[in-house]
Amino acid sequence: MVAAYILKKDFLGGYSGLSENENYFLVFFLMFLGCYVSFNFFGLYRARELRSIPNILVKVLLALGSASIFLIVSLYIFHQADISRLLLLLINSIAFVLVSLRAILTYKYLHSGSSREKNSVNILIIGSKERAKETIKTIYSAPTNLLNVVGCLELDDRRKGQDVVEGVKILGGMNSFCSLLLNEVIDEVIFAIPLKKIPNVTSYIKFAEKLGIRIRIMPDWQLQKIMFRPETASITFDDLVGLPTLLLSSTPRKDVQLLIKNIIDYVGAGLGLLIMSPLMLIIAILIKLDSSGPVFFIQERVGVNGRHFKLYKFRTMVKNAEELKKKLEQQNEMDGPVFKIKNDPRITRIGKILRKTSLDELPQLFNVLRGEMSLVGPRPPLPNEVEKYEPHQRRRLSMKPGLTCIWQVSGRNDVDFDSWMKMDLEYIDNWSLLLDLKLIFRTMLVVLLGTGR
């Protein structure tokens, strides 16, 4: 809209019908409001609903058309009907190009080979009869290929290993439900079987809720079987590639805010790497001069719903730190599965400075650009730490891990494991963009004041 105004005023000012006295603030406000509502209605803020390039172009045209109708009607109500038609044409033309380009790039990224594994939604289906087969066929016939059915569960495991449809197999009976959710990467569970046929169905749903895994139930079946009050999940009706489902989700369902969060992550990480690259080069040289070993410390961590990824940090310890850790385990000052001690003898001289200022975390901006982490979120744990989690503690894996989080600006090593876990779960339950901005500001203070580890 701003580009359209500049183009009109500075380059097309001599054309007839272009008034210098138009209320541009009102035009921009109404167009912004119309675009926000229509883009949300047509699914342009929900990346996984972008099914093909023609689908994207049609959605953008419909959304801009709806926003323009809203604008024209509103201007008539406000007695501003003499607004320049050329300005409206410029706004829509520029918006069409930019919005379509953004949506197409998002679509291409999500469907690229390198991104598919990180962005796909892994689904476990309960049932293997006709309703389950219909669900699987609908999922795999959808234009988007970001939905992946990992398998089906039946009431018992007599047909374990048999094919259902589309190459999807029966993984076992309901007795393996909990172990599958704990040991495999599962994002959603779909109950494609009448709930009244599943013994103790409420206990299964509560277990998935504890882990932060989304639950979908076909709404035409005996919902009184799950008439319980969820501890953390919200219940909404939701569409899954055309299938109406009842969705129980214990993670934020703020699609627009989450989209903005992703944009902030990519832009922030890109700018951060650009601005900090000279400092990062100096740090790399100092690390090599201080001790032998690589510049970067690369370690396997656990991300969203159990996905493993390689985390990057500047090396702050001697190169055989992991071997020495076994000898120091008895000195661990943290309860729970986390290992930390004060005055750790494995830390190098430059490592102490990097840890105190949190500059050792800078390479994780690459993880943010790769889509494995966010600027703000629960810190990514080690695989052996996750193995020791209680079921309700695994819910902290239901959001993308972050560079900084609440407990990092609330005492760092002085926070015990239970408080640390409680703060992470509170962050998930109360997440908002404003909370993220507050934590980023507090993290900057920690770095500037050197009150880190």
Render pLDDT for 388-405 as a digit per residue (tens, 0 to 9). Answer: 888 888 989 989 999 998
**Of residues 51 and 42, which shows the higher confidence score?**
42
pLDDT value at 311 more than 80: yes
Eight-state DSSP code of residue 7? I
Same domain, 191 and 294: no
Q: Where does a domain end: 249, 271, 306?
A: 249
Average pLDDT over residues 162-166: 87
| Tokens found for residue 289 | 């001069």
Same domain, 331 and 222: no
pLDDT value at 412 more than 80: no
**Of residues 153 and 141, which shows the higher confidence score?**
153
Q: Indicate the average pLDDT of the chain.
A: 80
Listed ranges 20-29, 51-60, 163-172; the one with the highest mean pLDDT: 163-172
Write down the pLDDT at residue 204. Answer: 92
| Nearest alpha carbon to residue 321 among 344, 340, 346 | 346
Kind of pairing between the strands at 188-191 and 214-217 = parallel
Residue 218 sits in a domain whose CATH number is: 3.40.50.720
Same domain, 321 and 426: yes
User: CA-CA distances (angstroms) from residue 382 to 95, 306, 392?
Assistant: 44, 11, 17
3-state helix, strand, coil split of the chain in percent (to 5) is 55, 15, 30
Same domain, 324 and 425: yes
Range of the domain at 416: 255-449
pLDDT value at 1 more than 60: no
pLDDT value at 17 more than 50: no
Same domain, 340 and 226: no
pLDDT tens sequence across 70-125: 888 887 777 766 666 777 787 788 888 888 888 888 777 666 655 556 668 899 99
Write down the pLDDT at residue 403. Answer: 92
Write down the pLDDT at residue 321. Answer: 75
**Cα 323 → chain centroid:** 34
pLDDT tens sequence across 57-85: 888 898 888 888 888 888 777 776 666 67
Same domain, 273 and 402: yes
CA distance 57 to 94: 14
Same domain, 278 and 293: yes
Average pLDDT over residues 189-200: 87
CA distance 172 to 127: 10
CA distance 269 to 263: 10
pLDDT value at 13 more than 60: no
pLDDT value at 435 more than 60: yes
Same domain, 204 and 272: no
pLDDT value at 177 more than 60: yes
Same domain, 72 and 151: no
Same domain, 174 and 89: no
Same domain, 269 and 384: yes
Per-residue confidence band for 299, with pLDDT thresholds at 50, 70 and 90 = very high
- Residue 165 pairs in a beta bridge with 168
Same domain, 20 and 41: yes
Domain count, the chain: 3
Task: Report the share of the chain in percent with pLDDT over 70.
Answer: 80
Write down the pLDDT at residue 77. Answer: 76
Q: Where does a domain end: 110, 127, 161?
A: 110
**Of residues 52 and 15, which shows the higher confidence score?**
52
Q: Where does a domain end: 84, 110, 136?
A: 110
